[in-house]
Amino acid sequence: MKHEKRIEIRWRDVDAYLHVNNAVYATYLEECRDEWLSKALEGVGDEWDFVLARVAIDFRRELKLEDEWVVASCRLARIGTSSLTLREEIRADEGWLSAESEAVLVARNREAGGSRPLADAERAALERVQ
């Protein structure tokens, strides 16, 4: 299941070079990723039981305030023992690619503070959206 989220480019997203700051790309991706995880685990898990362990962003083309909107997308690439690998993109509203990303989320054990294996119900829900 590919999830998409349309996000308005805000004045505060733009830096002194008049383009969207590189750190804001991570925020756009996070907004989309959080929605995707919430929908994927709906009824079987808590999206707050996962933490971001890795994110790599390849910037392809700059965004500017006049682009007005972006479409961030997220899809599941791999399910591990305790982790998920996601493929993500940011496109201008016109459709051209601005950035590609890979993110790894890890299921966390709240009590112990470390990782934990995916629960059977979580794994089944994620396999349905793969």
Please name the amino acid found at residue 35: E
Residue-level pLDDT at 30: 97
Residue-level pLDDT at 39: 94
Whether residue 45 is predicted with pLDDT greater than 90 in this model: the reply is no
pLDDT class of 97 with cuts at 50, 70, 90: very high
Whether residue 47 is predicted with pLDDT greater than 80 in this model: the reply is no
pLDDT (average), residues 34-50: 89
What is the CATH architecture assignment of 3-129? Answer: Roll (3.10)
Calpha distance 4→33 (Å, rounded): 9
Please name the amino acid found at residue 94: E
Tokens 């996070």 belong to residue: 30
Instruction: Give per-residue pLDDT as tens, 57-76.
Output: 999 999 999 999 999 999 99
**Which one-letter DSSP state was computed for residue 118?**
P
Secondary element (H or E) of residue 37: helix 22-40
Residue-level pLDDT at 46: 75
Whether residue 5 is predicted with pLDDT greater than 80 in this model: the reply is yes
pLDDT (average), residues 84-95: 97
Residue-level pLDDT at 56: 98
Q: Which of 107, 115, 113 is closest to 37 using CA atoms?
A: 107
What integer best gives the mean pLDDT of the chain? Answer: 95
Cβ atoms of 51 and 33 within 8 Å: the answer is no
Domain locations along the chain? 3-129
